[in-house]
Amino acid sequence: MSAVIEARGLVVDRGRRSVLRGVDLALGAGEALSLVGPNAAGKSTLVRALAGLLPAARGEVLLQGRPLAGWARSALAQRVALVAAEDEAPDRIAVGDRVALGRYPHRGALAPMTGEDRTAVARALRQTEIEHLARRPLGTLSAGERQLASLARGLAQEPSVLLLDEPASHLDVRHQLHLFRILDDVRQRGVAVLAVIHDLPRAAAWAPRLALLAEGRIAADGPSAEVLESEAAERAFGVAIRGVPVVDGPERLWRFEEKS
């Protein structure tokens, strides 16, 4: 499978410190990947570097085989969408208008919205199941609905790569399930979906593939259960991790214990 987006020996500095120290990671079309790692491992930095928001000090990020530097900004934003945990949009903006701003990379500053744009916005609202909220001001939404509006903005970009930084961190379990089901739909339509997920069982349950980032490098990358049970994961998180197979399914229950 050829990768849609790929980091090769990616080194990213923040200030004088190298946060990423040679990351190799590739994602194919329609593939879902959970990115996990302890605090300050560089997960957010990696996501932002993949979106072209942070420059590579060494190494490179390839989008459809071409280095990010070779992409025009708008062309890049038509293909890669980033959805962050924090939504800083103004409270008074209507959900539909907020989602429509996702068409900016396609339309630019002056060109009027076309039928194509309206279709994309309507589809994004439908996929995230918030059509009924389209006219509501963002400030009247719950945290879960607000996160869906953020996601809808990303989908309105019609990206081939969707990057999410802790999309579920503010959500209760019902909204989490809802969100990850929507991400599954998106992936099945051929979009490569990479999500930073703090909650390890959730990360393992959502994506078949899991990448562990520790100290600025990919410490493990593979089937979710294998990665979580790996020694690398125990070392990275500093806890004992054990997966208990459930009787009637492929899932596992996870146990975490502090190491004495």
Q: Is 74 in the site for another protein (CB under 8 A)?
A: yes
Least Å distance between CB 226 and another protein? 25
Restricting to residues 101-120, which ones interact with another protein according to CB under 8 A?
101-102, 104-105, 109-110
What is the C-alpha radius of gyration for the chain, rounded to an integer number of angstroms? 19
The C-alpha atoms of residue 103 and residue 108 are separated, in whole angstroms, by 8
- What angle do the packed helices 115-127 and 173-188 form, to 10 degrees? 130
> Helical H runs in 51-141?
73-79, 95-100, 104-107, 115-127
The C-alpha atoms of residue 210 and residue 208 are separated, in whole angstroms, by 7
Buried b vs exposed e over 81-119: b needs ≥16 C-beta within 10 Å? bbbbbebebeeebebbebbbebbbbbbeeeeeeeeebee
Q: Is 122 in the site for another protein (CB under 8 A)?
A: no
Torsion of CA 190, 185, 151, 141, to 10 degrees: 170
3-state secondary structure (DSSP) of residue 21:
strand
Residue 179 burial (CB count, 10 A): 21
User: Quick one: 122 or 177, whose CB is closer to another protein?
Assistant: 177
Least Å distance between CB 78 and another protein? 8
Contact range with another protein by CB under 8 A, out of 34-42, 74-82, 205-213, 215-223: 74-82
DSSP 137: B
Contact range with another protein by CB under 8 A, out of 5-13, 78-86, 197-205, 236-244: 78-86
Restricting to residues 129-188, which ones interact with another protein according to CB under 8 A?
129, 132-133, 135-137, 140-142, 144-145, 153, 157, 174-175, 177-178, 181
* Two tokens, residue 125: 């609202």
Query: Which one of 33, 77, 194, 196 is in contact with another protein (CB under 8 A)?
Result: 77
Q: Is 42 in the site for another protein (CB under 8 A)?
A: no
Tell me the number of residues near another protein by CB under 8 A: 43
Restricting to residues 221-240, which ones interact with another protein according to CB under 8 A?
none
The C-alpha atoms of residue 176 and residue 189 are separated, in whole angstroms, by 20
User: Quick one: 104 or 254, whose CB is closer to another protein?
Assistant: 104
Least Å distance between CB 14 and another protein? 13
Q: Is 85 in the site for another protein (CB under 8 A)?
A: no
Contact residues toward another protein (CB under 8 A) are 48, 51, 53, 73-74, 76-77, 81-82, 84, 86, 88-90, 92-94, 97-98, 101-102, 104-105, 109-110, 129, 132-133, 135-137, 140-142, 144-145, 153, 157, 174-175, 177-178, 181
